[in-house]
């Protein structure tokens, strides 16, 4: 894995950076300012993969990503679940009693809302968790704190004032790993797979119900269904579907045939093995 270059959004110490290191320990991780930049690096062959957060167990889906992925010529080749342990950080010598304001990405602030309120802190939304930590380090102000990872604390030489500052101990982010290469793993009935795609429905009564009916009649589980309106229209919705299964499975073949009859603009996003996290009780 040492020759893999993987792009992520954020600065060093961001949770996406941590996910890169945990999923591909020997890879070279490259920080990007935006999700689009990280994806474009893969499209231009500057990076092999992009680590992109799709949803969080506490804060919900990352809306921007659902809109970006169908527009790009990239494929989902894997998924990664990263436990999120938010730390309250301050400069060396700071104490919780000193802290008056706390900065972080809006999702991290939302995931620590109860603890922020409990301490009476003023929340400041920033572009990135680790970027907030970096800023606190540069300001040298004992009244300013940041919510970020332990990795960020080590990188920017900050004090960990509370290493379990998140409201939910089970807080987890699901990442998708994007590649320019379209690779579909060979079907093994002893393994679990996710098939991801997007589609719109035809303009007929009960179109979505009919489009999804084939999954029910063929005993196929839907792991996720998300909808969002297409840009420039309030009338047309696009649906993102994560299917529990491999397209070489006969039952899924039949279900997809029925989907194609009632849906349109179907785009396959990827077929990949389930992450071990999905098998935990």
- 258, 220, 180, 56 alpha-carbon torsion, rounded to 10°: 130
175 catalytic per annotation: yes
Q: Residue 173 catalytic?
A: yes
Give me 32's structure tokens.
């990007």
Question: Which one of 173, 200, 239, 262 is the catalytic residue?
Answer: 173
Instruction: Give pLDDT tens digits along the chain (281 positions).
Output: 458 999 999 999 999 999 999 999 999 999 999 999 999 999 999 999 999 999 988 878 888 898 888 888 899 999 999 999 999 999 999 999 999 999 999 989 999 999 999 999 999 999 889 999 999 999 999 999 999 999 999 999 999 999 999 998 888 999 999 999 999 999 999 999 999 999 998 878 888 999 999 999 999 999 999 998 766 666 678 899 999 999 999 999 999 999 999 998 899 999 999 999 998 86
Q: State which CATH number among 2.115.10.20, 3.20.20.60, 3.40.190.10, 3.40.50.1100 fits the domain covering 87-162.
A: 3.40.190.10
The answer as to CATH 3.40.50.450 being correct for domain 193-279 is: no
Domain 193-279 in the same topology as domain 87-162: no
Instruction: Give residue limits of the domains in the chain.
Output: 5-84+172-179, 87-162, 193-279
Kindly give, in sequence order, each residue whose CB lies less than 8 Å from that of residue 192, ignoring residues fewer than 6 positions away: 244, 273, 274, 278, 279
> The domain 5-84+172-179 is classified under which CATH number: 3.30.70.20, 3.40.190.10, 3.40.50.300, 3.90.550.10?
3.40.190.10
Parallel, antiparallel, or unpaired: how do β-strands 87-90 and 144-148 relate?
A: antiparallel
Place of tokens 């494929």: 75
Catalytic, out of 175, 199, 239, 262: 175
């Amino acid at each position: 894995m040492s020759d893999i270059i993987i792009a992520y959004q954020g600065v060093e110490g961001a949770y996406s950076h941590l996910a890169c290191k945990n999923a591909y320990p020997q890879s070279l991780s490259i920080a990007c300012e935006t999700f689009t930049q990280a994806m474009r690096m893969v499209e231009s062959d500057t990076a092999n993969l992009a680590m992109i957060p799709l949803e969080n167990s506490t804060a919900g889906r990352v809306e921007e990503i659902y809109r970006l992925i169908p527009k790009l010529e990239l494929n989902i080749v894997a998924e990664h679940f990263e436990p999120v342990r938010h730390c309250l950080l301050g400069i060396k010598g700071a104490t919780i009693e000193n802290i008056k304001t706390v900065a972080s990405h809006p999702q991290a602030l939302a995931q620590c809302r109860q603890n922020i309120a409990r301490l009476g802190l003023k929340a400041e939304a920033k572009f990135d968790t680790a970027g907030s930590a970096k800023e606190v380090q540069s300001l040298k102000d004992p009244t300013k704190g940041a919510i970020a990872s332990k990795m960020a604390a080590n990188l920017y030489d900050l004090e960990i004032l509370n290493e379990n500052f998140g409201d939910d101990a089970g807080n987890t982010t699901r990442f998708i790993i994007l590649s320019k290469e379209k690779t579909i793993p060979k079907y093994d009935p002893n393994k679990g797979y996710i098939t991801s795609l997007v589609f719109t429905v035809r303009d007929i009564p009960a179109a979505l119900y009919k489009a999804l009916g084939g999954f029910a009649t063929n005993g196929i589980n839907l792991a996720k269904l998300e909808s969002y309106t297409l840009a420039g229209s309030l009338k047309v919705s696009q649906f993102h579907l994560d299917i529990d299964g491999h397209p070489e499975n006969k039952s899924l073949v039949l279900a997809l045939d029925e989907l194609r009859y009632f849906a349109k603009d179907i785009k396959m996003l990827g077929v990949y093995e389930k992450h071990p996290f999905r098998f935990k009780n």
